[in-house]
């Protein structure tokens, strides 16, 4: 099964060993642990996700968007021994990712994960599953306690419905 649209332009995979692969197609294995990459010359490679740093590609002419849309995914650890390829939404001092929550994968629920520069493991601060997102303000307040202005914003006006704004505020206003 293809993880990415067949209408994509070239894919660029940036591996952790500094290799850059240009591929014409990238699929995923059923257990979501490896990418099956078809290179420009037709060679098929099986690459474990934990060997991939980032995957850059463009969606084009889809039902949802008539123009090319940049998509960037990154391998993100969510525990010492678990990680997944996640969509990158905000980059900066703190990055925002979305990815499936392992225990809720079959439900279609995904989590909003944050990771500051220098951290190895991302923290899930919210989810599309209402049971997992009830404590958003508590979790976000604890995670961003290094910035009093951010904590104030979380308490006053920011909630799980504007997480991108929250991370942008942190990246721009907090030292």
Contacts by residues 118-123 (CB-CB < 8 Å, ≥ 24 positions apart): 120/77, 121/77, 121/78, 121/79, 121/80, 122/76, 122/77, 122/78, 122/86, 122/97
Burial (Cβ within 10 Å: 0-12, 13-18, ≥19) of residue 27: middle
Is the pLDDT score of 128 beyond 90?
Answer: no
Using the CB atoms, write b or e for 93-122: b if 16+ within 10 Å.
ebbbbbbbbeebeeeebbbbbbbbeeeeeb
pLDDT in tens, 68-123: 778 889 999 998 888 888 999 999 999 999 987 766 555 667 889 999 999 999 99
Tokens of 104: 């809720």
Q: Give me the pLDDT at residue 1, please.
A: 31
Q: Give me the pLDDT at residue 86, please.
A: 92
Q: Cα separations (Å) of 104 from 31, 118, 126, 129? A: 14, 28, 13, 8
pLDDT in tens, 9-35: 688 999 999 999 888 888 877 667 888
Is the pLDDT score of 131 beyond 60?
Answer: no
Three-state secondary-structure class, residue 73:
strand
Distance CA 31, CA 33 (A): 6
pLDDT in tens, 147-174: 999 999 888 876 667 889 889 999 999 9
Q: Which residue has the higher pLDDT, 127 or 65?
A: 127
Distance CA 91, CA 30 (A): 29
C-beta neighbour count of 32 within 10 angstroms: 15
Q: Which residue has the higher pLDDT, 17 or 137?
A: 17
Mean pLDDT of 49-60: 86
Domains along the sequence of the chain with CATH: 1-75 (2.30.30), 78-175 (no CATH)
Tokens of 94: 């703190």
């Amino acid at each position: 099964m293809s993880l990415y649209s067949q209408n994509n332009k070239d894919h660029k995979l940036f591996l952790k060993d500094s290799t850059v692969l240009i591929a014409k197609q990238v699929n995923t294995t059923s257990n979501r642990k490896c990418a099956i990459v078809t290179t420009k010359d037709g060679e098929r490679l099986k690459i474990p996700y934990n060997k991939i740093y980032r995957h850059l590609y463009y969606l084009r002419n889809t039902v949802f968007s008539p123009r090319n849309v940049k998509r960037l995914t990154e391998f993100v650890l969510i525990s010492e021994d678990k990680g997944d390829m996640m969509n990158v939404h905000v980059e900066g001092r703190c990055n925002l990712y979305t990815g499936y929550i392992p225990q809720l994968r079959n439900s279609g629920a995904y989590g909003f994960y944050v990771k500051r520069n220098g951290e190895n493991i991302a923290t899930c601060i919210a989810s599309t599953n209402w049971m997992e997102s009830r404590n958003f303000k508590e979790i976000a307040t604890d995670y961003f306690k290094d910035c009093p202005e951010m904590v104030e914003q979380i308490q006053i006006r920011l909630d799980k419905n504007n997480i991108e704004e929250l991370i942008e505020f942190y990246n721009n206003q907090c030292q």
